[in-house]
Structure 1
Amino acid sequence: TLPSSGFLKAKMSILPREKVMLDIVVMFHQYSGYDGMIDMPGLVNLMKENFSNFLRGCEKSDTDYLCTAFEKKDENKDKKINYSEFLSLLGDVAIDYHKIMHGAVLCFGGN
Structure 2
Amino acid sequence: MSILPPEKVMLDIVAMFHQYSGDDGTIDMPGLVNLMKENFPNFLRGCEKSDTDYLSTAFEKKDENKDKKINYSVFLSLLGDVAIDYHKIMH
Question: One fold, TM greater than 0.5?
Answer: yes
Are 2:47 and 2:54, in contact at CA under 8 Å, matched by a contact in 1? Answer: no
Counterpart CA distance in 2 for 1:63 and 1:22 is 30
- CA deviation vs aligned residue, 1:19-72 (integer Å, no higher than 9, x gap): 001100000000000011001110010011111100101226987332211111
Counterpart CA distance in 2 for 1:56 and 1:91 is 18
Aligned CA distance change for structure 1 residues 34 and 20 (closer, same or farther; 3 Å): same
Counterpart CA distance in 2 for 1:77 and 1:52 is 26
Counterpart CA distance in 2 for 1:22 and 1:76 is 28
Counterpart CA distance in 2 for 1:33 and 1:62 is 28
Are 1:74 and 1:81, in contact at CA under 8 Å, matched by a contact in 2? Answer: yes
More helix by share: 2
Please identify the structure whose Cα radius of gyration is greater. Answer: 1
RMSD over aligned CA atoms reads: 1.8
Alignment of 1:1-111 (within 5 A): 12-59=1-48, 64-102=53-91
Counterpart CA distance in 2 for 1:86 and 1:62 is 20
TM-score normalised over the length of structure 2: 0.90
Counterpart CA distance in 2 for 1:14 and 1:57 is 32
Q: Structure 1: which 5+ residue stretches go unaligned?
A: 1-11, 103-111
Aligned CA distance change for structure 1 residues 62 and 98 (closer, same or farther; 3 Å): closer
Q: After TM superposition, what 4+ stretches of structure 1 lie above 6 angstroms from structure 2?
A: none
TM-score normalised over the length of structure 1: 0.75
Aligned residues: 91
User: Percent of aligned positions with the same letter in both sequences?
Assistant: 92
Q: Structure 2: which 5+ residue stretches go unaligned?
A: none
